[in-house]
A and B are shown apart, each in its own frame.
Chain A
Amino acid sequence: DAMVIQNPRYQVTQFGKPVTLSCSQTLNHNVMYWYQQKSSQAPKLLFHYYDKDFNNEADTPDNFQSRRPNTSFCFLDIRSPGLGDAAMYLCATSRATESNQPQHFGDGTRLSIL
């Protein structure tokens, strides 16, 4: 089945040690998103790509960066994770930038910081 796949499902890293989370999609969607979700709160958008165009949310910390080498893959890099970065990170895709298109989510990567 076409889907959004996130690896790993669980990631443990040390305080200050860079970590990369990955997302792949078989939907061939133009848009890919990264959300941060903390303990049953609403997901918070960090940034999104429309094809190669990167769009950063104004309040996303500089510590968070992203790469999209091709249509299928997108990576979230956390340069120096702090304890406050422990969260579920969700990747999502949508077909285009029309606001009426639903987003398709992966199952997330739960990040723990030691």
Chain B
Amino acid sequence: AQSVAQPEDQVKVAEGNPLTVKCTYSVSGNPYLFWYVQYPNRGLQFLLKYITGDNLVKGSYGFEAEFNKSQTSFHLKKPSALVSDSALYFCATTKAGTALIFGKGTTLSVSS
């Protein structure tokens, strides 16, 4: 069965420091992987996706993610965190059709 795991419930970083939010996957075949962000009382916003090709994927708001097949990981990264990046982040993959399978989510807190 397709699944993703986010091992950290919470990540805390200081503003200006690099951030990493971790995601590992268990997918048969070629994985389709996504990152979404959710601000309080809002829906999910798509950040980026990996389908195939370049292992470094660039997305919205300066975020990027690195696909690592040997480690079955798809970690979300940003070189310099902003306080406004504080939110709930979900890694996801898809099962048959387009249904998204989400990780449990990681709360990112960026302190000023």
Chain A residues proximal to chain B, CB less than 8 Å: 4, 6, 31, 33, 40-43, 45, 48, 50, 55, 57, 90, 92, 94, 96-108, 110
Given A99-B94, A102-B34, A110-B41, decide whether A41 and B99 contact each other with a Cβ distance below 8 A: no
In the complex, what distance in Å separates the CA atom of A105 from the CA atom of B42?
A: 9
Inter-subunit contact A40/B105 (CB<8 Å): yes
Inter-subunit contact B99/A108 (CB<8 Å): no
- Can you report 23 residue pairs joining A to B where beta carbons are below 8 Å apart? A33-B99, A41-B104, A42-B103, A42-B105, A43-B90, A43-B102, A48-B97, A98-B98, A99-B32, A99-B95, A100-B32, A100-B94, A102-B34, A102-B46, A103-B44, A103-B98, A104-B46, A105-B36, A105-B44, A106-B43, A107-B41, A108-B41, A108-B42
Query: Considering the complex of A and B, which 10 residue pairs feature the smallest CB-CB distances, nearest first?
Result: A105-B43, A42-B102, A99-B94, A102-B46, A105-B44, A100-B51, A107-B43, A99-B32, A100-B32, A97-B97
List 5 additional contacts besides A4-B43, A100-B51, A103-B46; criterion CB under 8 Å: A57-B99, A92-B44, A102-B49, A105-B43, A108-B41
Chain B residues proximal to chain A, CB less than 8 Å: 32, 34, 36, 41-46, 49, 51, 88, 90, 94-100, 102-105, 107
Q: Cβ of A55: which chain B residues have Cβ within 8 Å of it?
A: 97
Question: Which one of A40, A94, A103, A107 lies within 8 Å of B42 (CB-CB)?
Answer: A107
Residue of B95, B96, B98, B105 most packed against chain A (CB within 10 A) = B98
Inter-subunit contact A40/B32 (CB<8 Å): no
Question: Smallest Cβ distance from A35 to chain B, in angstroms?
Answer: 8
Inter-subunit contact A45/B99 (CB<8 Å): yes
Q: Cβ of A4: which chain B residues have Cβ within 8 Å of it?
A: 43
In the complex, what distance in Å separates the CA atom of A102 from the CA atom of B45?
A: 10
Inter-subunit contact A90/B98 (CB<8 Å): no
Q: Cβ of A6: which chain B residues have Cβ within 8 Å of it?
A: 43
In the complex, what distance in Å separates the CA atom of A94 from the CA atom of B42?
A: 18
